[in-house]
Structure 1
Amino acid sequence: MVQYNFDEKIERKGTGALKTDALQERFGKTDLISLWVADMDFRCGDFIIDALIDCCKQGIFGYTIFPEKYFLSVKDWILEHHHWLIEREWFSFIPGVMKGIAFAIINFTNPKDKVIIQPPVYYPFRLVTQMHNRQVVNNPLIEEDGKYRMDLDGLRKIIDKNCRLLILSNPHNPIGISWKQEILEELAEICFEKNILVISDEIHSDMAIFGHRHTPFALVSKHAEQNSITFMAPTKTFNLAGIVSSYAIVLNKEVRNIFYSFLRACGLDEGTIFSYSATQAAYVNGSEWKRQMLQYIENNIRIVDSFLKKYIPIVKMFMPEASFLVWLDCRELRLSQKELNNLFIEKANLALNDGEVFGKEGIGFMRMNVGCPQSILIEALNNLKNALKSG
């Protein structure tokens, strides 16, 4: 069995990587430890690199057909990892999950219609809705007893005739919740009854950790199946964000015809040779890489948890159930959000995501990406400890 080296440090500065080469623009400094944007600092498995090299060796990059083996690799992966048997007619390539969400907004809402999100949540949900001149309606999660839960009673109260879509983060970003079957069932019933289409962003679906399991929204009930669009991708799992490769799964024939006709009319349902090849290589050969990667992520999360409890108990973390993102509760520091960002950037020399961008419910929080070598993570934690010690 191949043992993958996730301790390897790879210099990304100067490669065009958003995580490093946008630091000056986003944070005002270039020398920060970069733990913000949600890609990992791990080298892709050789099985993916070799597949891409084979594409390049041919030396011709002409028009590319949709490979049947590509779909079969996706089908087999989803069946093996999520116990969901999908059919070819339900499936379409899309050029990115957020683009898919934008396409859904365009096709299933009109200007001034309302789109429901559940903050604190991935902030492009809000931005893309607003940029398409739709109204954002917030159904905030409820925080209690050190955990978050959906406010389904609150959801029932805020729905009116202009609500058309609900964008579900499943698993939830930034908190890392793997939503349970019964919660998704109730959400599905509410949305079906009120004729609100659920757009389920499941880009982190392969990254359930600590014994948790991902539940695809469309699997929880007949109403969920017939009233949803699911978006998935290999990009988070296998660190392929720079290779645009995502896909949609739509079971409702009427919804599917509308959505997929739009994709075809715009030429948006066709991938590149690299997206097809990388996805197929990942899904056919990547199970062991994924297993080792998730084990490494779990160890990194444990490092953060034990370090904070021992050295910085005033900062707390929500234990994620999925992905490599950690939601840090810094409210006991009693700093304004501006002061909190200044602490991380200017004093600790760290680039994390400002919690407020995920909604006002994120004030007092920061999002940390722990998808990095442990030595870098420990250096970052020591920076934070020393910054707080120095006042």
Structure 2
Amino acid sequence: MTYDFDEIIDRSGTGAEKYTGLETLYGNPDAIPLWVADMDFKAAQPILDAIKERAENGVFGYTVKPDGYDDAVCSFQKRRKNWDIDKRLMSMSLGVVPSICMIVRELTWPSDKIIIQTPVYGPFYNAVRNAQRELLESPLKETDGHYYMDYGDIEEKARQGAKYIILCSPHNPVGRVWTRDELVSLGRICIKYGIKVIADEIHSDLILWGNKHTPFSAISEELRKLTITCIAASKTFNLAGLQSSVVIFPDVETKAAFDRAWERLHIECNNVFSLVSTQAAYQYGEEWLEQLIPYIEGNINLVMDYMSKNIPLIKPICPEGTYLIWLDCRKLGMTGNQLTDFMVHKAGIAMSAGTYFGKNGEGYVRMNVACPRATVEKALKQLQTAVEQQII
């Protein structure tokens, strides 16, 4: 079937954080919400059908993983990434962030040092600091709007005794889809120093422009033994509110330790609707996904072209994956707080502040373009007007 991503869907009254946060977090309930990373699109019809069918049963008692769930996950990863996963090493979880937090808290030691590559998704900081582990920041290198890993800095952190690295692949917020060669270079350092890898690959199915995602643990057997990978249907198929993810471990012992941690909290399985929706997404959602990706690319092209012609003081960094655009606003000459205030109250757009992603995000904002094109167009026009008035 053909999906209509131009449809404007009213999300008011649904408790959507993306909209309720406009007042509580931004102080402008009328701002265009282009911040939190979910989509303003309906889920694929097979997912909606699966949820409806399950709801019509009318009984929502304790529910175990359905037959075929693991096979659906593994088959999807094999089709999309040629990645062979041992389903005996898979665990369900409430989400990628809860998984990372649990891994850091339960599978690392208080003395462990953990590397993150900044600017990076804000909860990475909290996962390390809240567990009272030592955080080592390795800033990405930026050249002409393109970001690279700083292998020299990573190796220096390794010599300082780093035990883990949290890898964001594809990277949020800068949009890099790391090449196999880049990951191999990182892998050499990890192998040399025995650094274990927590790979957040939640955006790995949202790959643009013909780029290719390489699962870190699929590069070699040596790296597989060092890597815990977190994936989910939530970003790919817009199911974040159903809270479901999958964690792939290097061995049964590590998996068992993770599972025991959830059991201590009496959280052994996901809710009934997350189970049926995830299975349906991986089995039947690809038609929707194949239509979504070119639509996202069209929105990104619109932003790139419009800003180049009409808002040259802001430089968008074209993502290779995700539906997020990292905007370099440094030429506006504002501090982080000033920039947020300008975007929200002058331009009427709520975007994620660059400082949320670390101190080297100062002067940037992250724009979510997973919304109808008319919404993006409106935001761009409002932003152009605000910038023109600012520089008069």
What is the TM-score when the length of structure 2 is the normalising length?
0.96
* 1:137 counterpart SS class: strand
- Inter-CA distance 262–117: structure 2 relative to 1 (3 Å threshold): same
2:40 corresponds to 1:67 = no
Deviations 1:277-318, CA, capped at 9 Å, x for gaps: 001111111111001011100000000000001101111111
How much does 1:87 deviate?
A: 1.8
- Residue deviations 1:25-50 (CA, integer Å, cap 9, x gap): 11112111000000000011221111
Name the CA distance, whole Å, in 1 between partners of 2:185 and 2:265: 35
Is it true that 1:336 corresponds to 2:335 in the alignment? yes
Segments of structure 1 that go 5 or more residues without pairing to the other structure are: none
Identify the residue that residue 41 of structure 1 maps to in structure 2. 40
Is 333-342 or 43-52 further displaced after alignment? 333-342
For structure 2, the 5+ residue unaligned runs are: none
Q: Which amino acid aligns with 1:48?
A: I
Residues 158 and 195 in structure 2, CA contact (< 8 A), matched pair in contact too: no
In 2, distance between residues paired with 1:373 and 1:63? 37
Q: What secondary structure is seen at the aligned counterpart in 1 of 2:147?
A: strand
Structure 2 CA distance for aligned equivalents of residues 100 and 283 of structure 1: 20
- 1:118, 1:138 within 8 Å by CA — same for their partners in 2? yes
Contact 1:123 1:358 (C-alpha < 8 Å) held by counterparts: yes
Aligned match of 2:382 = 383
Partner of 1:354: 353
Give the corresponding residue for 2:4. 5
- Contact 1:95 1:269 survives alignment (8 Å): no
Instruction: Name the counterpart of 1:273.
Output: 272
2:115·2:164 contact (CA, 8 Å) conserved in 1? yes
Aligned 1:14-93 pairs, distance under 5 A: 14-93=13-92
Which amino acid counterpart does residue 315 of structure 1 have in structure 2? Answer: I
Which one-letter code corresponds to 1:371 in the other structure?
A: A
**CA distance in structure 2 between the aligned counterparts of 1:130 and 1:96, rounded to whole angstroms:** 19
Question: Partners in 1 of 2:259 and 2:328 — Cα distance?
Answer: 41
1:107 Cα offset (Å): 1.9
Q: Equivalents in 1 of 2:53, 2:161: separation in Å?
A: 51
Matches within 5 A, 1:65-144: 65-144=64-143
In the TM superposition, what is the alpha-carbon distance from 1:175 to its structure 2 partner?
0.8
Kindly indicate whether the alpha-carbon contact (under 8 Å) linking 1:228 and 1:250 is maintained by their aligned counterparts in 2: yes
2:325 corresponding residue in structure 1? 326
The residue number in structure 2 matching 1:232 is 231
> What is the distance in 1 between the residues matched to 2:221 and 2:319?
29
Letter in 1 for 2:188: E
Is residue 181 of structure 1 aligned with residue 196 of structure 2? no
CA RMSD of aligned residues (A): 1.3
**Which range moves more in the overlay, 106-115 or 204-213?**
106-115
TM-score normalised to structure 1 length = 0.97
Offset from partner CA, 1:57-80 (integer Å, 9 cap, x none): 111111212223111111110110
Runs ≥4 residues deviating over 6 A: none
* Structure 2: distance between partners of 1:324 and 1:232: 17
Distance 2:52 2:307 in 1: 42
> Is the partner of 1:251 in helix, strand or coil?
coil
Aligned to 1:288: 287
Distance in 2, Cα, partners of 1:249 & 1:338: 39
User: Which has the higher mean CA deviation after the structures are superposed, 256-265 or 48-57?
Assistant: 256-265
Q: Distance in 2 between matches of 1:196 and 1:322?
A: 26
Q: Indicate the residue corresponding to 1:248 in structure 2.
A: 247
Q: How far did residue 112 of structure 1 move?
A: 4.4
Distance 2:23 2:248 in 1: 38
Q: Number of paired residues?
A: 390
In 1, the alpha carbon distance for the partners of 2:102 and 2:342 equals 39
Give the Å deviation of 1:11. Answer: 1.4
